Chains A and B, each alone.
Chain A
Amino acid sequence: MTAPAGSILRLRRAAARPSIRACLAAGLIFGGLAGLRAQTQKPTEYEVQAAYLSNFGRFVEYPARTSAASDVFNVCVLGPDPFGSLLDAALRNEAINGVPMAAKRIGTPEEGAACRIVFLTVSKESQLTAILSTLGATGALTVSGMPNFARRGGMVQFILDGNRVRFEINLAAAQRARLTLSSQLLKLAVAVRRAP
């Protein structure tokens, strides 16, 4: 049963009326997408992905971290930011276990040490293996929409199914990074790779 189109927008605690919000969101998405090498997708796709990004962290158990990044839950974007203000909007006033969430843009994988989630843009596809190995040591959840991301070692890969955003999970990769993914999340995945 597909949810009516307006319900996705209501995942946010938005006080504004849906119709205005939809226009605004649509406008933002259009604006944000204007500067990117746009993929063939619906205008709300990034909004959904931003929403997912804000929620993934609730289903992930991170190992104890000694770095100072434990007082802020950073959702980082590596590469040219396709979200624009969408990610910030999705993370605004959100917290996971009392830890406030924030969006961060990083340029190098090494900066990923301060991140809990790292979203890799499509442009990084060529250096993927190196990035992943670097990020692997940081203990962050790697998410991307690039094809074969999960097969190539990425932990969560966004998959477009009709007009729905779904994801594939590489559990082995998450386990290598000592991340425990909740079964609640796993059951929603289109596919779960368990083999390394």
Chain B
Amino acid sequence: MTGARFPMFRRRNYSIRQKLTSMNMLVSGAALLLACTAFAIYELADFRTTMVNSLSTQAQIIGANSASALLFNDAESARNTLSALQASPNIISASIYTRSNNIFATWSRHGGEDAPLFPGIPTGQTLTYSFGGNELVLTRVIDFQGKRIGAVRIRSDLSEVSGRLVRYTGIVAAVLAMSLFAAFVFSSIFQKATARPIAQLADTARIVSREKKYSVRAPTTTNADEIALLIEAFNEMLGQIQERDSALQAGRDELELRVVRRTAQLEAVNRELESFTYSVAHDLRAPLRHIQGFADALIEECSGQIDEAARGYLTRIIESTRRMDQLINDLLGLAQVGRQELRVQPTKLDPLVNDVVRDLNHETQGRNIEWRIGDLPTVDCDPGLIKLVFHNLLSNAVKYTRPRDPAIIEAGQQTVEGERVIYIRDNGVGFNMKYAHKLFGVFERLHRREDFEGTGVGLATVQRIIHKHGGRIWAEAAVDRGATFFLTLPTAGQSKTL
């Protein structure tokens, strides 16, 4: 666990419970390990010192006991003294040296050892030792009655030390394992107070967000800590959401109701409007027909009895009725456009416009008109209504270019600020941009009737159609320099549902 590299520790994969447990185990493990290591190091260091002291003492004793042997040159006796070291199981061999550092006597546990050379003792010190290999070699002077008469050298193996080390490691490992286990157990027990509520909270949150069920609540705990606070706040929040939801729903329901009522109202109004239009269509026309009919009869049959002036008046009466008839038709057309459902489909404008141009042929007989129809896009639209749009616009262009020879009428598409725009341009009489805002108003005309006929309803109808398609229409012109009408329509595949 400790010392593992980070890939294994990808924190986001571990639950809170696991994290808490592993944290506990890590902490206790690390603390224990540190403590045990510190103690072990201390112990071992201490033990070294102890060993040195013990060996030094033994050397001292040996020295004291072999003083006489040295003084009286009794190597046998010295060796006997040394052999007492047999009792110390760690001592491998020992030697006594004379004052002139020659070997005097040697004892070795396993026998057959060469007399080792005297390892020097630095002047001023009474002993010297070294740890090397698996051995401790200690050399001590033999002082007798204030005089240095020789030295004793003892070789001890460190098997006890390593034995201790092994035992320490074993104990540390065992303690570590047990404490980790205990940490694990306690952690598992105590996570009930911490990780479990959090895990439950997380579960609840997951349920809420997945199933959008705001009626669930996270289970509360009996604690009074931050977790309990969190759970309480969470539940409260859910409650508020529920309230808000139901308020929202109530609002929506009410709106629905209102919409339904409003729709019913609108439908009623629409129906009224329809029947109104229907009546208009019939009942307004009949008297018109009569007026015109009898005025004509008057002219035809009473031509002898009426003078020029009277005939003139009658003619104007007839003209007015014609005009009114046209107005009624146009108004009906405008109303129709408003009522009608759009039947949108991808429509190629090229053939459509060419159709319109052909239809206008009877109006353009005898006129020199240069048609410049460019590539037009395919758009999502109601073909019938859009045909009407082009009919109106192109017929206007034809009308207002009457003074021109040749009349140049263009239609095409261009990109304006990243948007695709269809344009219809003519080199006709144009209009004053001062009145451009009136252009699409019903009955609004920017030219006098005697110059150019028209009811003033055509462009209103065109605008209504374009708006119904979600597009825009506008115009630019200059007096006597022609006019350009721009319109936008959704390209095929982009249509909005209205």
Contacts and interface: CB of A to CB of B under 8 A. Distances in A.
Do A and B bind? yes
Interface stretch (A7-15, A71-79, A105-113, A131-139): A7-15
A184 B76 contact: no
Interface stretch (B99-107, B227-235, B254-262, B392-400): B99-107
A1 B71 contact: no
B125 interface: no
Nearest to B69: A188
Contacts, number: 56
Interface string B406-436: 0000000000000000000000000000000
A10 B105 CA distance: 15
Interface residues of A, number: 26
Interface string A1-41: 11110111011010000000000000000000000000000
Interface string B45-79: 00000000000000000000101110111111101
Contact of B71 (A3, A4, A10, A55): A55
Given A10-B102, A11-B98, A1 B76 contact: yes
A7 B74 contact: no
B67 A188 contact: no
A182 B68 CA distance: 10
B75 A58 contact: no
B68 A187 contact: yes
Contacts of B65: 184
B102 A11 contact: no
Given A58-B71, A184-B65, A7 B98 contact: yes
Give chain B's interface secondary structure class: mixed
Contacts of A165: 73
Interface residues of B, number: 21
Nearest to A8: B73
B105 A13 contact: no
Interface string B79-106: 1000000000000000000111010111
Contacts of A6: 102
B104 A7 contact: yes
Given A11-B71, A165-B73, A187-B68, 20 more contacts: A1-B105, A1-B106, A6-B102, A7-B98, A10-B99, A10-B100, A10-B102, A13-B99, A48-B73, A52-B72, A55-B71, A55-B72, A58-B71, A58-B144, A58-B145, A59-B68, A97-B145, A182-B68, A187-B77, A188-B72
Interface of B: 65, 67-69, 71-77, 79, 98-100, 102, 104-106, 144-145
